[in-house]
A and B are shown apart, each in its own frame.
Chain A
Amino acid sequence: MTVFLNSARPLRVSPGLALWIVAGFLFLGLFGPWLVPHDPLKQNLLAAGQGPGLVHWLGTDHLGRDTFSRLIAAANTSLVGITLVLGIALIIGIGLGTLAGYRRGWTEEAIMRVTDVGLAMPSLIIALAMIGIFGTGYWNMVIALALAWWPSFCRVSRAVVVGVMNKPHIEALRVMGASPLRIFFVHLLPTTTGSVLVYATADAGGLALSIATLSFLGLGIQPPTPEWGQMLVDSLPYLEGDPRQVILPGLALTLVVVAFNFLGEAIALNRVPRPLGRRLLARRRAEAAAWDRPPRGLVTGEKA
């Protein structure tokens, strides 16, 4: 077991690779609609289930749609979904968490007990319950996931604000008569937003997986919009005859989820990889060159 875990360690310490995968996902998600070689919705039943070729680089699906184009379009679907869910969840979570940390007292009690209830239940279960009540559909899915995701952001925001509120500059602001609104919007919200956004990065992978899961269950993105989870479930009947149809969306989803998780872990451990620009490269070289020289004062004859 130890050997197995040790062998996996190089994967866990390569946030640079994760960064590249996430960057690729973001690029495809943002510019996918202009990059697709074929219309991802265009069916050609006569070409259903074709293997990779010059026209369709990754082949076609069971309805003759270009798999490569659909994978790219699905990245856009996931990115938009993640952005919307995180946006709504962050607004609710940060807003309520900051308010709880600032007001304290019964306001904090009320908000944090609701948050505790939210955190006590798995987010996907909450989302499923919401969709069960309000029905399927894109916006219902987004709202359901946002309502399932906000409690963790709320808890972090509250913790950050409680810490900041004890800082001298906030006390000084209050002594100087700054209005509560000024303190809340100008001094607390920006602080909590910055901290919580870091945690949100780690949640993006889980969110991509949740969107895919709901679509896999037929409760999320509805046809014909390409989405990895939906592509997976649509291609499952062809698992034996044409596993390519299953492997490709599964691989794409796995890569993005794992990359987001690695990146989130790296950020949490403050090991954000920085782009290796010309200036940084020069500095690194200088540092490395310095390692070859003994420290000053140790070389005979040199003055300290």
Chain B
Amino acid sequence: MKRRNLLQGMAAAGLLPLVPGFATRALAAPGDTVRFAIAKPAGDMNPHAYKGLWGAQDLIYEPLVKYGPGGEIQPCLAASWSLSDDGKTLALELQPGVTFQDGTPWNAEAMKWNLDRWVPTGDHDWINHVRLFDHLEIKGDHSVVMHFKEAPLSLFFELSYTQPTRYLSPASVAADGSFDKAIGTGPWKLTSASDSLSAFERYEGYWGTAPGFDKLELVVLPDSRGRMAALRAGDIDVTGGDFMAPITANEATTLKDAGIAVAVHSGIAMLLGFNPDRNPALADKRVRNAISQGFDRVAIAQVLYSGLAEPAGSMFPPSVPLSGNQFAPDAHDPDAARALLDAAGWTGDGIRSKDGAALKVEFVVSNDQIAGSRSMAEVMQAQLAEIGVELTIRSVDHASRHSDIPARQYDMALFLTFGAPYEPFGTMMGYLYSPYDNGVDGKMVIDAANLDPLMEAATAASEATVQAQVQAVYDWIHAETALAPLLYTPSIWAHGPRVEGFTPPATEYDTPYDGLIIKAG
């Protein structure tokens, strides 16, 4: 090929998007399909592997009970239940007339097969009722009793989790017992999956309320600007959520201005974690306290979140069950922060020092994890410099964050709580209880002497005492400034004009297809 031909071809290809409607035609959704944009491929569909997009698995697999709006527990694969007074036995009447997508009936045997497959592995012992599970008693074809060694806390929230407490067909595993095919009882059947798109079609044998449209596609659009453009062009119908494809406050404003429907609702908490094991200066709680008072949460919420976020004083927003007494957010008080640093022995003009060492702190942020977090870090960097703390920002990609944070390669880092239904215990066990391996999310506070006993007491508490025991954990964290709550961030969803009936999901692990329909005409 001649160079001229090559150049002409490239120029022609470059001009193609300018042809009216070209991009729209290339991505045009069929009339019966609703397209959701996701930031990363849906990946592994094994509900027991803690991989893949949980919102995609929510389409296929169902739990015994569902976490409804406001934390209301609703029947799902269990039609009704009865918990004994001592909390150790849970009698369940399974939903009748339910079949897996391959035709296998959902019954007591299928439930037992599922539990036998993943409960004894020990991989899921961070969940109270899994750790305390004793055995399953089959009373009838659709009648079972779950027996526990002790009464598990938050039992019904745990039963609604996306992973691992969802049920798959016995035919979905290979001969060696490994996961093979994604077959659940849910309303959507996976028809194809690639790194760019996961396609689902409605399961016509679904026992519950059928979705309002025939096909659903999860389209991978890694760049948020690409997602916004695709939404405005009508190439996708829905996007957003904390974990599916986050929308920033600034993007939400732009979408609203463009006439796109935007739904904002209470989201999760953003927390600042300290690592005194790597930076000895942070072992002094006065230094941690000074840092927490050294930056302006209100300004960050107003400027970087367009007022959609709220300054946080506690580990969980008040909407979370067992979130305890709400502490007032630390106010921006540079004088108080300076006094704390003086008292801690960090003195001097400019960047403070102690015993010849400068007060330097490395702050690891990832825009991939939290959009806009680098800008937030820059604000904190400038404000902490005013109290004599040199904050070095290390901006990393998603993969680096997933390796550096569990390896504790940070002085300070941002963490997000897990959101409903994993709050509070899922988040607390993951971030605060040192014996539990929290995988790529890493640990925020490690204190085997003081915090672990409090966590053990909280998870072993009865319904009558759990409030007080959990509050003891919150009080200790607050008194020690073991972490610094930053913001309660909003969860933002947006949908195009082609669909209507959108309601934000009850949890950020659900795909919000309920009630959604394609507009007539």
Contact = CB atoms under 8 A, between A and B. Distances in A.
Interface of A: 1, 4, 41-43, 45, 48, 62-63, 136-137, 217-219, 222-224, 234, 236-241
Contacts of A43: 378-379, 382
A161 to B, nearest CB: 32
B250 A48 contact: no
B362 to A, nearest CB: 10
Given A41-B382, A63-B378, A223-B381, A238 B392 contact: no
B374 interface: yes
Given A218-B397, A236-B225, A238-B250, A223 B299 contact: no
B476 to A, nearest CB: 33
A219 B374 CA distance: 13
A238 B394 CA distance: 23
Interface in B80-127: none
Residue in A137, A239, A240 whose Cβ sees the most chain B Cβ within 10 Å: A240
A237 B251 contact: yes
B393 A223 contact: yes
6 contacts: A43-B379, A136-B394, A218-B374, A222-B392, A222-B395, A237-B225
Interface in B384-405: 392-397
Chain A contact residues: helix, strand, loop or mixed: loop
A77 B397 CA distance: 23
B448 interface: no
A70 to B, nearest CB: 12
Contacts of A42: 382
Interface string B249-278: 011011001000000000000000000000
B381 A224 contact: yes
Given A217-B397, A218-B396, A237-B251, 12 more contacts: A1-B4, A1-B11, A43-B378, A63-B303, A63-B378, A136-B395, A136-B396, A218-B397, A238-B250, A239-B225, A241-B250, A241-B257
A253 to B, nearest CB: 19
A237 B248 contact: yes
A304 B302 CA distance: 88
B503 interface: no
Residue in B253, B377, B378 whose Cβ sees the most chain A Cβ within 10 Å: B378
Q: Which 4 A-B pairs have the closest CB atoms?
A: A218-B395, A45-B303, A223-B393, A223-B378
A43 B395 CA distance: 19
A137 B371 CA distance: 21
B375 to A, nearest CB: 6
B8 to A, nearest CB: 5
A224 B385 CA distance: 11
B52 interface: no
A136 B394 CA distance: 7
A40 to B, nearest CB: 12
B250 A237 contact: yes
Contacts, number: 66
Contact of B8 (A1, A218, A223, A238): A1
Chain B contact residues: helix, strand, loop or mixed: helix
Contact of B367 (A218, A238, A241): A218
B372 interface: yes
Contacts of A41: 382
Contacts of A219: 397
A1 B7 contact: yes
Contact of A48 (B303, B371, B396): B303
A9 B25 CA distance: 36
Contacts of B367: 218
Nearest to B303: A45
Interface in B155-177: none
A209 B397 CA distance: 20
A236 B248 CA distance: 12
A41 B224 CA distance: 27
Nearest to A238: B250
A63 B396 contact: no
A224 B384 CA distance: 13
Interface string B189-227: 000000000000000000000000000000000001100
A240 B224 CA distance: 13
Contacts of B296: 45
Contacts of B250: 237-238, 241
Contacts of A217: 397
Contact of B393 (A63, A222, A236, A239): A222
A197 B58 CA distance: 61
A62 B299 CA distance: 13
A224 B375 CA distance: 10
Contacts of A237: 224-225, 248, 250-251, 371-372
Nearest to A236: B225
A223 B254 contact: no
Contacts of B372: 237
B225 to A, nearest CB: 7
A4 B8 CA distance: 11
B254 A241 contact: yes
Nearest to B394: A136
B12 to A, nearest CB: 9
A142 B31 CA distance: 53
Contacts of A4: 11
A237 to B, nearest CB: 5
B374 A223 contact: yes
Nearest to B299: A45
B13 to A, nearest CB: 13
B377 A223 contact: yes
